[in-house]
Amino acid sequence: MIRLLIEELGGIWQFLKKNGRETVIIVFATFFLLMHEYRPIQNEWLSVFLYYGLFPILVIIIVLRKNPLDFGLRWGHPKIWGFHVVVICIIAAAILYASSFSAELQGYYQQTDFSLLSYFLLNCVSLSAQEFMYRGFLLFGLMDKFKEGSILFQTIPFVLLHLGKPELETISTIITGILFGYVAYRGKSFWPAFIIHLFINVFFVGLINLRSG
């Protein structure tokens, strides 16, 4: 019994040692997502920026001892991802316009005293951090081991993040999560995912509030 226990503990240690980088990425990503939910820091925007953006960068520098630029912060291949950004945003605009007439989505996203500029600036901060967590820290952190499979890994927490939002939106994130991940993977950068996500969010919420106002 004791011998078996020692062997199994040794096996666990060898597993963690063999997959050290991936273990660090997944453990810290999961921890930060949970802490944002249970221990938010002041307001939503600051909490997202710290847990999804700054803290993962510190993990890259201090724990992994890597350059954060290698986790999708470089421009990558703009000629490749620029094409995807233009096409996706055009298609998304048509879909979002039709979806903006949904009573469920209108009720969820209508705001009092809505300011398009303020909303845009706040989302630049929060969405850049969110996108770095999924399409930067997770995607590029797991890429060496799992290659294209890292696209699927980062999709799961991205979808779970949307639990509590309108059903149609949450289901759609299965598609957008894979799509954003693919574009970032192909373009070697998290920036196209951020640009697309920012456009979708600001365009849709702005459309609902400016039209109702």
Domain ranges of the chain: 2-212
Query: Among 138, 72, 136, 111, which Cα is nearest to 201's?
Result: 111
- Where do we find the tokens 């949970």? 34
Secondary structure class of 189 (helix, strand, coil): coil
In the chain the first and final C-alpha atoms are separated, in Å, by: 71
Rounded to whole angstroms, the Cα distance separating 183 from 83 reads 10
pLDDT of residue 213: 65
Q: Which two tokens stand for residue 144?
A: 């060496």
Q: Is the pLDDT of residue 89 over 90?
A: yes
- Where do we find the tokens 């997770």? 138
Q: What is the mean pLDDT of residues 14-18?
A: 91
The 3-class secondary structure across 11-59, one letter per residue, is: HHHHHHHHCHHHHHHHHHHHHHHHHHHHCCCCCHHHHHHHHHHHHHHHH
Rounded to whole angstroms, the Cα distance separating 200 from 113 reads 21
pLDDT of residue 52: 99
Residue 122 or 211, more confident: 122
pLDDT of residue 5: 85
pLDDT of residue 3: 87
Reported as a pLDDT band with limits 50, 70 and 90, residue 185 is: very high
Contact 108, 165 (CB under 8 A): yes
Q: Is the pLDDT of residue 4 over 70?
A: yes
Rounded to whole angstroms, the Cα distance separating 58 from 62 reads 6
